[in-house]
Amino acid sequence: MTQKLLTLIIQRSFRKSIFLNFFVIFSIFTFSVLIYQYDREKSYRIRQLEITLDNVTEITHRYIDHRNIINTGDFKSLDTLKSLIPISNTRITVIDYSGKVLYDSFVADFDRLENHFARFEVQHALKEGVGSSIRLSTSTNQEFYYYAKDFRKYIVRSAAVYNIEVKNFLKTEQIFLFFVLFLFVLMWVLLHFTTLRLSEFIVKLKDFALKAGNNEDIEVLDSDFKDNEFGIIRKQIIQIYDNLKKAKDELTVEQEKLFDHLQVLDEGIAIFSPQRNKILANSHFIQYINIISEVSTISAENVFLIPEFRKVIDFLEEQSNSQFPYSSKDPDQLLYNVEKNEKYFQIKCIIFSDASFEIMISDITRPERRRLLKQQLTSNIAHELKTPLASIKGYLETVLNNPNIPTEKKHYFMEKAYAQSERLTDLLNDISLLNNIEDAGELFEFKQLQIRPVIRDVVENLRIRMNQKNITCNVEVNPAVAINGNESLLFSVFQNLLENSINYAGENITVTVSNYLEDTKFYYFRYSDTGPGIPEEHLPRIFERFYRVDYGRSRENGGTGLGLSIVKNAVLLHKGDISVKNRPEGGLEFLFSLAKK
């Protein structure tokens, strides 16, 4: 009983909603037609009146033209036209372009009439050729429907007295209104019965759909639902429902597997329809196209707007114009690499047999950088080793090929060979240290240590070389400053910075090391000297391996070309960052941070 009552309430509510919707739509339509027809009828009657008044102005114009009244000035002769005018009480007025009244059939002494240039209908006639208005005449104190027409040399204005007869003529017929209201009532009755039947059908269909959606027994239905056309619909829906449910369950399982697989992949993958609409895409795909395009987007379809994917577009268009069908066994594919913002990506496009296609983006930055670095490092190491080895070989050959060489000379050549071997040792040690920082940073032991003693040890270690060039070092670091770091690496950081100043900043300079800022996570350090600095174009590259501002001068001073590269990598291993710039007052300034923990 409760279920039937609830169904009845829902049915009435739904029926009311349908009825109101149809009622509002039909009401709007009816009133729109009514307003349109009313306006159309009114416009038609106004037009009829204006056609009659236009005929009057034409007759007047022809009479003036035929009698040459403009030249003779005999406007009084226009009084003979009164008997020819089809509407009684029609007023004729002739006005020149200055607004002077040349003739008025309602005013005998029309010469005394005020200037009519500002009259609304006259202004409209001057601008648009014709003009009309309804207003009270200040000359006769009567209300007129005015119609004025421009005949190039003068304006002829005809007017009908706006009395009851003219007003009734302009009114629209009322019979159309009653006819529309009759149709409105008839439609209301039809809507009542139509929505009643429609609501019953939709409520039953709703109950059926709810049972199917809730996996209830949809075989059990009302008898009246079985015995009519809905019985056939019921059977078809049951069959379609069973097939779709089975297919949906299978697809859901496979889809979840596919999505889970795509999300854990490091590659960015997106599959598109032949019309280039996205079917699916994982998060890495969106991330990679944002990096490549440098424009934030969440739409995978934007990949076709990125210039770096132009090869993919050309490949797709080329394959779509091909006369050979797509092969499922050996699908067509495109493979190429893209470099963007120091990152490297491999882009692969595969076209499937149904003309849909997949775009896969792989981040190959690390292996590509390793390859390039290995290639560059191999070339640089070979180049750097060649010089000291050639020097050592040359000195030893000189000693071996000249047995009678004086002892002092022999000793000189041996010292030179030893110096070159020391340089070679330093180079190999720096290469080993740099590789350990980059590839085996986790092997370095980190502990809490104070920075000031490390700097002090570096200064003492290089004191003799500093004194030789009269270099002063000011350390402005609080003794309490301590970080979690590796003592050996931090020693290398400050030693390489100080050696860089000793080797290249010149004599009589001052070096300053200070801790200028700290926050909850980092200490910030400034290392500066008062030397000449370096040209601005070299600043972005001084942390590169084997990069030298002055190659010959660097060799003379004994540098390996790896010192600042070691500094940068050691700072990065300590979770910090480093930058370099020329000081406005002269000299070089390094700003770097070291993590507290």
CATH number, domain containing residue 327: 3.30.450.20
Which one has a higher pLDDT value, 377 or 444?
444
Q: What is the mean pLDDT of the chain?
A: 79
- State the pLDDT at residue 551: 46
So what's the pLDDT on residue 563?
80
**DSSP code for 468:** H
Whether 295 and 372 map to the same domain: the answer is no
CATH code at 560? 3.30.565.10
Residues contacting 408, CB < 8 A, separation 6+: none
Q: Please indicate, yes or no, whether residues 564 and 459 belong to a single structural domain of this protein.
A: yes
Is 213 among the domain residues?
A: no
Q: Is residue 247 part of a domain?
A: no
Q: 303 exposed, middle or buried (CB, 10 Å; 0-12, 13-18, 19+)? A: buried
**Concatenated DSSP letters for 79-127?**
GGGGGT-SSTTEEEEEEETTS-EEEETT-TTGGGSPP-TT-HHHHHHHH
Encode pLDDT of 287-336 as tens digits: 888 888 877 777 788 888 888 889 998 998 888 877 555 555 667 789 99
pLDDT at 554: 46
Domain end residue (candidates: 170, 198, 230): 170
Better-scored residue on pLDDT, 151 or 196: 151
pLDDT band at 588 (very low <50, low <70, confident <90, very high): very high
CATH assignment at residue 420: 1.10.287.130
Is residue 76 over pLDDT 70? yes
What 3-state class would DSSP assign to 278? strand
Say which residue, 404 or 207, is predicted with more confidence. 404
Which range has the top average pLDDT, 59-68, 259-268, 511-520? 511-520
CA 539 – CA 236 distance, rounded (Å): 77
Residue 1, pLDDT > 50, answer no
On the question of pLDDT at 552 being above 60, the answer is: no
Burial class (CB in 10 A: 0-12, 13-18, 19+), 43: exposed
Q: Is position 346 within any domain?
A: yes
Say if 178 falls within a structural domain. Answer: no
**Between residues 430 and 324, the one the model is more confident about:** 430
User: Averaged over 502-507, what is the pLDDT?
Assistant: 90
410 and 299 share a domain?
Answer: no
CA distance 546 to 383: 10
343 within 8 A of 362, measured Cβ to Cβ: no
Higher pLDDT, 85 or 225: 85
Q: Select the highest-mean-pLDDT range: 15-24, 376-385, 459-468.
A: 459-468
355 and 400 part of one domain: no
Question: Whose CA is closest to 529, among 468, 479, 466?
Answer: 466
Per-residue confidence band for 473, with pLDDT thresholds at 50, 70 and 90 = very high
Rounded CA-CA distance 430/428 in Å is: 5
The contacts of residue 277 (CB under 8 Å, 6+ apart) are: 301
Looking at residue 250, its pLDDT comes to: 83
Amino acid 84: pLDDT: 67
Model confidence pTM above 0.75:
no
Residue 207 is assigned to a structural domain of this protein: no
Which of 84-93, 215-224, 342-351 comes out lowest in average pLDDT?
Answer: 215-224
Which residues are within 8 A (CB) of 440 and not within 5 positions of it... i.e. 6 or more apart? none
Q: How confident is the model at residue 7 (pLDDT cuts 50, 70, 90)?
A: low
pLDDT at 555 exceeding the cut of 60:
no
- The answer to whether the beta carbons of residues 175 and 17 sit under 8 Å apart is no
Longest dimension (CA), the chain: 153
Q: What is the mean pLDDT of residues 526-543?
A: 90
Are residue 44 and residue 138 in the same domain, yes or no? yes
Residue 73 covered by a domain: yes
Distance (Å, whole) CA 530 – CA 546: 24
Q: Which one of 336, 363, 390 terminates a domain?
A: 363
For range 223-250, the mean pLDDT: 68
The per-residue pLDDT for 354 is: 85
Is the domain of 43 the same as that of 158?
yes
Length of the chain: 597
Candidate from 66-80, 82-96, 149-163, 344-358 with smallest mean pLDDT: 82-96
- Residue with tokens 């240590």, as numbered in its chain: 449
Do residue 70 and residue 136 come from a single domain?
A: yes
Residue range 106-128: average pLDDT?
A: 86
Asked whether residue 306 falls in the same domain as residue 395, the answer is: no
Say if 183 falls within a structural domain.
no
**Of 16-30, 149-163, 237-251, 282-296, where does the model show the most confidence?**
149-163
Residue 416 and residue 501 in one domain: no
Q: In the chain, how many domains are there? A: 4
- Place 166 in a pLDDT band, splitting at 50, 70 and 90: low
Same domain, 400 and 351: no
Question: Does pLDDT of 581 surpass 90?
Answer: yes
Do 476 and 387 lie in one domain? The reply is no
Question: Which of 146, 170, 194 is at the close of a domain?
Answer: 170
3-class secondary structure per residue, 410-435: HHHHHHHHHHHHHHHHHHHHHHHHHH
455 pLDDT exceeds 90?
yes
The per-residue pLDDT for 553 is 45
More confident residue, 353 or 239: 353
| Segment 377-419, tens digit of pLDDT | 555 555 556 666 667 777 777 778 888 888 787 788 787 777 7
Same domain as 345, residue 279? yes
Domain range enclosing 508: 444-595
Strands 90-96 and 101-104: antiparallel
200 in any annotated domain: no
Spell out a b/e string for 462-485, using b for 16 or more CB atoms within 10 Å of the CB, else e: beeebeeeebebebebeeeeebeb
